[in-house]
Homo-oligomer: A and B are copies of this chain.
Amino acid sequence: MDTDFLEDFAAMSTHGATPGGGVEREAGTPEDHAVRAWFRGWLEEAGFAVRHDAISNQYGLVELVPGAPYVLVGSHLDSQPLAGRFDGAYGVLAAAHAAREVVRRVRAGELTAACNLAVVNWFNEEGSRFTPSMMGSSVLTGSLPLETALAATDRAGASVADAIATPGDALDLAVPPVAAYAEIHIEQGRGLEESGTTIGLVDRTWAASKYRIVVHGEQSHTGSTIMADRKDALFGAALLIVAARELTEELPEGLLHSSVSELELAPNSPVTIARRVEINLDLRSPDEAVLARANALLEERIAQVEQRARVRVERRLTHQWGLLSYQPEGVELARSAAAALGLTHAPTMTVAGHDSTNMKDVAPTVMLFVPSIQGISHNEGEATSDSDALAGVALMTEVTARLVAGELGADAAFVPGL
């Protein structure tokens, strides 16, 4: 058992630590830079060469088989505001400990490597400061142009290009070919805990539809404008927020998650009715038919809201995906490794997106979950028990060893353009 993992995790969690026991390390902030610097030190001490690519994904590389492609293992160290210590960060450190142990085994002759090995800390998985989320892996895998990502700005107008400029950091890297990818993450739900399972073998993602919605009203005086004359964009937005929740009550229980969590209004004045409100709205389901029904109902509700609030609603579908599968051979490798270690395990779906959701599109990918206590996430109270955390590190080590040995292939499945 990797007993110094917990000590390292505690040390890492001091970067951006909040009084409530969580962390706040939004992408590219001083706190993110601080944890990256700490992690670089850890990797260097463990013998990895530390580099970053053009979008600031951070890598610790070790060459085991000259010229061979790399197995990539990792997650992300950035966080939401007032977030927990585990989301992403647990997976990065678990991957690093796993990789260090695998390198030891190879060097000790206990394991024969077919691939090289790199730990990765993806840039801006969270997307709370810079949109979109999963930025680093989206750029690496080619679904997001580098220039678009670098030009993204936060609410204060700072760009990603500004935020990732770290003079003292290591050299840029031309990312080498990738043979396979593995990631471990907290579940962020209650499924594993409630079923008493230690390991979730992620085989699919929930389907999702994400909208950017603009409600167009008309500015007027909050006091003197008679109610019948009002075209209140905030009232329209409020009706939409309530409608999104009601969809989850109309459809079979548990089969639809809906949220509005971002809102901007203009002019945001105490005595002027809003002329414009912009919100995100997302719908997620483990059942594509339910999601299609929710999308259809949303369209009806929008028409009703337009009438009732006398506003115009502009809706843009920004992301949509169905039930996306991880490669069955990756799930099987993970199952076999968990069984070998005697860990309880079950197939599971992920509701949240992860960097592995991008990586599975370009390379054989293994995605693992450990339990979240009470399903709490994106919250300072987020937690995973020590024993589950350590079980995950042990499994990640076994999975990484099998990937380095070439169990999912030793060819270059993906040659990054970065």
**CA of A282 to CA of B272, assembled, Å:** 11
CB of A145 within 8 A of chain B? no
Residue of A242, A284, A374 ringed by the most chain B CB atoms within 10 A: A242
Chain B residues contacting A221 (CB-CB under 8 Å) are 188, 351-352, 377-378
Chain B residues contacting A260 (CB-CB under 8 Å) are 234-235, 238
Chain B residues contacting A273 (CB-CB under 8 Å) are 259, 261, 378
**CA of A242 to CA of B243, assembled, Å:** 11
| Secondary structure class of chain A's binding surface, majority of residues | loop
Instruction: Fill in one digit per residue for A254-272: 1 if any B CB lies within 8 Å of its CB, else 0.
Output: 1011111111011111111
CB of A219 within 8 A of chain B? yes
**CA of A160 to CA of B352, assembled, Å:** 44
* Copies per complex of this chain: 2
Q: Known interface pairs A222-B282, A272-B261. Does A375 touch B81 (Cβ–Cβ under 8 Å)? A: no
- Which positions 283-302 of chain A face chain B at CB distance < 8 Å? 284
Chain B residues contacting A254 (CB-CB under 8 Å) are 226-227
Contact A133 B270 (CB under 8 A): yes
**CA of A242 to CA of B224, assembled, Å:** 19
Instruction: Fill in one digit per residue for A128-166: 1 if any B CB lies within 8 Å of its CB, else 0.
Output: 100101000000000000000000000000000000000
CB of A183 within 8 A of chain B? no
Q: Known interface pairs A127-B270, A270-B128, A270-B131. Does A235 touch B245 (Cβ–Cβ under 8 Å)? A: yes
Interface residues of A (CB under 8 A from B): 80-83, 126-128, 131, 133, 187-190, 206, 208, 218-227, 229, 232, 234-235, 237-239, 241-242, 245, 248, 254, 256-263, 265-275, 280, 282, 284, 350-353, 374-380
Q: Can you list 13 A-B pairs with a CB-CB distance of less than 8 A?
A: A80-B271, A82-B267, A82-B275, A188-B221, A189-B226, A220-B377, A222-B259, A223-B282, A224-B350, A227-B245, A234-B261, A239-B242, A242-B242
Given A83-B219, A238-B241, 17 more pairs with CB closer than 8 A: A80-B267, A82-B267, A128-B269, A133-B271, A188-B221, A189-B226, A220-B378, A221-B378, A223-B352, A223-B353, A224-B375, A225-B378, A226-B257, A229-B374, A232-B259, A235-B245, A238-B242
